[in-house]
Homo-oligomer: A and B are copies of this chain.
Amino acid sequence: MTRFRFELTGGDPASGARLGRLHTAHGVVETPVFMPVGTLGTVKGLTPAQLEEIGASIILGNTYHLYLRPGMEVVSALGGLHKMAAWPHPILTDSGGYQVFSLRHRAKIEEHGVTFASHIDGTPHLLTPEDAIGIQETLGSDIMMAFDECPPAGAHTRVVTRAMERTSRWARRCIDARTREDNALFGIVQGGIDAELRRRSAADLTSLPFDGFALGGLSVGESRDATWASVGAAAPLLPADKPRYLMGVGTPEDLLVCTGLGVDMFDCVLPTRHARNARIMTADGDFNLRNARFRLDDRPLSPGCGCYACQHFSRGYLRHLHKANEVLFNTLASLHNVYYLLDLMRGARAAIAAGTFVDYQRELLARRAASAALTEDAPTA
């Protein structure tokens, strides 16, 4: 049995950026890493073969969504999440907490757990910390997340404090609920953007036997500066020898900045969601392919990009596919956007290894910023 293990292999001398490896039962993940989100078992529009081709080494599955659909009976019958989704590589699952709390008006939070109404059919469900672990063990993910309470941005300090304290109590119940030893369990530091609450949360959670730590409750509506400041303050409070995961983040800027602040893992639905809306992510900024100026454009989405979509198709053709509602557009645009973020992180790892991460970060941030004015969404045709 392969036990989960994190290996710190290097660091950038001029920033907090770290280089490492997650060793899991389903393979090794080089960090820092971007994890594409496979909500229902599939990263929307992409086959596992396409994900492998663009270099995804780990994907994320959503416990809340998989629990409701197809449900645990189906997942079990089909051999667990890896086998069912034909993804034999590492998988991280969230705990369902974030989704349940985003149904706030349909959820009732008690110390025991959360009662909520399914977003699909309104049926009532109870999710406890013990359930969240049980479900994740059935899914069979390589990295499980503790069940946390995630308050919205702008919540009163009293609310954030109560959520942070409950997250600490639930963290202990999650640890006690584990029955498997072959996968990892990460704790989630809460506390909003309040430095003192983050400090208390980190101090308590890092005293528990977690295999890694996440920063939760960020990028939920607060300003980008506040996100980055919170990450900068919280990351050093986490043990250096364990992986650090910034949940639900983010943009290319977030990835570049927060890698420099010492974060090892990221996930976000942004690249696939943007793709469905024809928003193309590139080193020179994002643009919306719906714009009429791309009608006759025979250039690839991002000149120089190595993805299949850029190697084979023009902006003009892809715009045509989007306008004609061809599902192939989703596939090709998602392939490109996810590739772009994976490639950004490949570059970050190489730069950290070469001791040039700060230059890499500065150059890419400047290039995106310089292009922002040019690439802002213009009125579409």
A interface, CB within 8 angstroms of B = 40-42, 44-49, 69-70, 73-74, 77-79, 84-86, 295-296, 298, 308, 312-314, 316-317, 320-321, 323-324, 326-328, 330-332
Contact = CB atoms under 8 A, between A and B. Distances in A.
A74 B331 contact: no
Nearest to A332: B47
Contact of A70 (B49, B312, B320): B320
A44 B326 CA distance: 7
A316 B47 contact: no
Contacts of A84: 314, 316-317
A85 B316 CA distance: 11
26 contacts: A40-B320, A44-B327, A45-B328, A46-B328, A47-B308, A47-B331, A47-B332, A48-B312, A49-B308, A69-B323, A70-B317, A70-B323, A70-B324, A73-B296, A74-B296, A74-B316, A74-B320, A77-B296, A78-B296, A78-B298, A84-B314, A84-B317, A85-B317, A86-B317, A327-B331, A331-B331
Nearest to A76: B296
Contacts of A70: 295, 316-317, 320, 323-324
A49 B331 CA distance: 13
Given A48-B312, A70-B316, A74-B295, 4 more contacts: A44-B328, A70-B323, A78-B298, A327-B330
Contacts of A314: 78, 84
As for how many copies of this chain the complex holds, the number is 2
A85 B332 CA distance: 12
Contacts of A323: 69-70
Nearest to A323: B69
A313 B44 CA distance: 16
Contacts of A332: 47
A333 to B, nearest CB: 12
A316 B46 contact: no
Contacts of A77: 296, 298, 316
Nearest to A49: B308
Leading 10 A-B pairs by shortest Cβ distance: A70-B320, A86-B312, A77-B296, A327-B327, A42-B328, A84-B317, A78-B316, A40-B324, A45-B327, A78-B314
Nearest to A46: B328
Contacts of A313: 86
A137 to B, nearest CB: 20
B78 A42 contact: no
A164 to B, nearest CB: 34
A326 B40 contact: yes
Contacts of A324: 40, 69-70
